[in-house]
Amino acid sequence: MSYHGHVEAAFFDLDKTIISKSSSLALTRPMYRAGLVSRTMLLRGAYAQLVYLLVGADEKKMDRAKEAMTALSRGWEKAQVEELVREVLIDLIDPYVYQEALDLMALHHALGRRVYIVSSSPEEIVKPLAEHFQVHDVIATRAAIEDGRYTGSLEQYVYAEGKAEAIKEVAAEQGLDLEHSFAYSDSITDVPMLETVGNPVAVNPDRDLRREAEKRSWQIRYFRRPVRLRTRLAGAIPKPSPVAAAAAGAAVAALVAWVYLRPRLRRTA
């Protein structure tokens, strides 16, 4: 959808917004099998996953995780990591995709908005997942590469304020209308990201984000239906005629748009 020549967009956080678990931590065991991480790192990853699911990740935890991962990845071959991700990550993540998120992304596409997945996880993880969700625009953490190997440092860290800055940069480059765009996230650390758009939505919010969303009268949504995307696509019904599809699609889009995207009514004084 465009407004005065500008294109609207929808920005989706990845972990606990589109999927119900951490995409990066899901790779710990496959990396261990491939010889990229030690048994100690495997156990730490399992513990980190438990903490993440139970209490979320605050800024200090994320900074420590960033430092640990950049140090750990020093010397890894980029091509090996990309191959590993494509071989195992989709199967690991596929059962944990929220159907509500898939429906919303499809709706935004149908309404002419550009859909972005915005994540602090590395591009090598986010891009294959985005393709699996049929999303082509990604804003993610980017590692420095030299001679095909990770240097152990980052070129771009897409977290907290970094997410907001990256979104603003992309908006300026692509001519996106942020005032009429949407953003979805579960974490208080993504308040800067949510503040960049005119339609912020807290999804499965942690306690602090829920409190902030209520204070600001932001929309709050709960996604509770993980679904296997491959099963969902395989079970799709045959396509109707183009005329019938257009008529039905317009009616469904109008209905779902009203349910999902209607602005919150502000309380009158």
The residue annotated as part of the active site, out of 13, 177, 190, 206, is: 13
Are the beta carbons of 82 and 217 closer than 8 angstroms?
no
Beta-carbon contacts of 36 under 8 Å, excluding residues fewer than 6 positions away, are 76, 80, 81, 84
The residue annotated as part of the active site, out of 15, 94, 186, 190, is: 15
Q: How far apart, in whole angstroms, are the C-alpha atoms of residue 252 and residue 79? A: 42
Selection from 213, 238, 204 nearest residue 20 by Cα: 204
Q: Spell 109-144 as b/e; 16+ CB within 10 A means b.
A: eeeebbbbbbbbbbbbbbbbbbebbebeebbbbebe
DSSP 83-131: HHIIIIIHHHHGGGEEHHHHHHHHHHHHTT-EEEEEEEEEHHHHHHHHH
- Would residue 147 show up in a list of annotated catalytic residues for this protein? no
- Would residue 13 show up in a list of annotated catalytic residues for this protein? yes
Catalytic site positions: 13, 15
